[in-house]
Structure 1
Amino acid sequence: MTIPLTARWVVVDIEGTVTATKQVHGVLYDYARPRLGAWIDDHPDDAEVAGAVRQVRELAGLPDTATTAEVVAVLHEWMDADRKAAPLKTLQGLVWQHGYAHGELTIALFPDVAPALRSWHEAGVSLAVFSSGSVAAQVALFANTTDGDLTALFSGYFDTVNAGPKRETVAYERIAERLGAAAEDLAFLSDVPAELDAAAAVGWRVVGLARPGEPFADADFGPHPTTDSLTRLQVVVPQP
C-alpha cells in the first residue's frame, strides 16, 4: 500500500529506520566499546573529549579524580542499557569517525533506503537527520555506507544536543526553527511511536517504520501511518 506524503522536508531517524539495530548495537557498539578508554587517554588536551569525560563524571556522581577505567565502566553500563547520554554519544562518535576514516567501518543500510533518499532528493525534497547519535557520528555514517557516500543528499543533521530529547516536542520545534520551515512542511520517519507522537503534537507529518525483525516491528503506532519500506512512501513537494 502506497502512503502519500506531502512535505518539503523529510527528516529521518537512523537506528531501526534506515539501518538495522544490529548495525548500531553490533557493528558500531562493538567497535567503540574496547576503544573508549584508549581514546580518552590518547586525547587529554582535546576540549571535546575532556568535556565529555567531565559530563560523565557529573552524571554518574564520580569524583573529579575518577580514573579513565572508572569513567569507561560507566560508559559501558550506559551502552548496555542503551542510554542516550550526550557524553557517551560524543565519545562514541569520535571513535567511529576514526574507524570510518581508516576504512575499518562501513554501515549497511536497508536496501530500500538509498534509492528512496536519492529519488526524493532528485524530486526536490530536502532531507535531514534526527538521531540520538552525535551529529559527527551521523555525518560519518552516511559518508561510509555500503551504498556509497550519501552526505550530499542531506541539508541538516540534528542530535539530542543541538535539538533536544527525541521524545519531547521541544526538539521538533527547534528543528523546524533551525530549518526555517513550517511544521506542516516537515515529515519525520521513525520506528519509535513515542518520537512520532512528539513530532505530530507540534504539527509535523509522521510515518512509522515497522521493519520485520526490529525492536518496534510489532509496536502500536496508534493513528500514525506505518510502513515497512521507504519505497511505499510517495513524497510530493507542495506547490507554492
Structure 2
Amino acid sequence: MSSGTNPIDAPLTVVVDIEGTTSATGFITEQLYPYSRAHFGRWLDEHGDDPDVVRAVEAVRELIGEPDADDRRIVEALNGWLDRDEKVTPLKALQGMIWAEGFASGELTSHFYPDAIPALRAWHAAGHRLYIFSSGSVAAQRAWFGSSPEGSLLPLFSGHFDTENAGPKRVADSYRAIAARIGELPERLVFLSDVVDELDAAREAGWWTIGVRRPDADEPYYDRGVGDHPETATFARLDLDGDRPILREP
C-alpha cells in the first residue's frame, strides 16, 4: 500500500456494492438473470473463440470437474448456478459479456434507487473517489453503470472490483487488496453494502462501514440486518465531510 500519499484531510474514498445497495436485487434477478439464461448457448456458439470466453469455459470445466464438458454441459452448469444464485466467477464473467451486449443494444436498462444517483454525483463533485466492488463482473458493472436511466454514470467512478480481480466479498483480504490497489489507507475507505458478512470483512480490514437496508423493497438480506454496523435506508443520510462517515438523523 502506498501509505502517506493520501493526507488525512483528503476526502474519504467510497466503495459501493450494487445489489440491494444502489439497485434493487429483484430487478437483477427478474430481468437480467433470465436475459443471460436465454443467451448462454448462443453466446458460447458465436463467441467460443474469444479469449475471455475460453477462459470462462475452462473455469467452468474445472469447477464441475469435467475437463471435456461440451457447450451443452457448460450451459447446464451455468443455469444450475443461476438457479441457486451462486456467485461463481465464470458465471458472472459470461453474464457480464451478455448483459453488455443487451445494454449496448438498448434491450436492457439498469435500475437505481431514487437516492443513489444524486448521492453518487454529489460525492463525486465533492472530491470523493468512488469505486464499485460487486460479485458481478467488471464488464457487468461497466454495462450497468453505463446504461442508467439518466445516462452513463461511469465518469463518476475511479475503478471497478469483482471477485476475480479482488477476491471473495466476505473475506477481509479482498478489502486489503483493494486498498493496496488504489493506494489508499484503510481508515480513509468507506464501504456500503446490504450484506453483514461483507461489512464484517471490510471492517476487519480497517475500513469504515455503512449497512444499507431498503425497507420498501423485497431485498433478500433485509431480514438478516446489518449487525452492529451503522444502518441507513437511504444514501441521503450519509455525511462524508469529516474524517469518518456520519449518518444524519432521518
**TM-score band, normalised by shorter chain:** over 0.9
Match of 2:219 among 214, 225, 229: 214
**1:220 Cα offset (Å):** 3.2
Structure number with greater CO (CA < 8 Å, separation at least 6) is 1
Question: How many residue pairs get matched?
Answer: 233
- Give the structure 1 partner of residue 228 of structure 2: 223
Counterparts of residues 1-240 of structure 1 (less than 5 Å): 8-64=12-68, 66-212=69-215, 213-236=218-241, 238=243
Letter in 1 for 2:31: V
* Percent pairwise identity: 51
**Once the 2 structures are TM-superposed, how far is the Cα of residue 168 of structure 1 from its aligned partner?**
0.1
SS at match of 1:162: coil
Q: Tell me, what secondary structure is at the counterpart of 2:223?
A: coil
Q: Which residue of 1 aligns with 2:5?
A: none
Equivalent AA in structure 2 for residue 67 of structure 1? D
Report how far residue 228 of structure 1 moved: 0.5
Unaligned runs of 5+ in 2: 1-9, 245-250
Asked if the contact 1:160/1:166 (under 8 Å) is kept, the reply is yes
Shift of the 7–190 alpha-carbon distance from structure 1 to 2, 3 Å rule, reads farther
How far 1:144 moved relative to its partner?
A: 0.2
CA displacement at 1:63 relative to structure 2:
3.6
Q: Is the 8 A contact 1:168 1:195 kept in 2?
A: yes
**Counterpart residue identity of residue 60, structure 1:** I
Query: AA paired with 1:139?
Result: R
Q: TM-score, normalised by structure 1?
A: 0.94
Contact 2:213 2:225 in 1 (8 A): no
**TM-score normalised over the length of structure 2:** 0.90
Shift, 1:7, TM fit: 5.5
1:237 deviates by: 5.4
Aligned-pair Cα RMSD in Å: 1.4
SS of match in other structure, 2:187? helix
The superposition leaves residues 136-175 of structure 1 with CA deviations (integer Å, 9 ceiling, x where unpaired) of 1101100001122100000010000000000000100000
Residue 238 of structure 1: CA displacement? Answer: 4.2
Q: Give the match's secondary structure for 2:53.
A: helix
Distance, in Å, in 1 between the alignment partners of 2:93 and 2:99 is: 10
The one-letter code sitting in structure 2 at the alignment partner of 1:61 is G
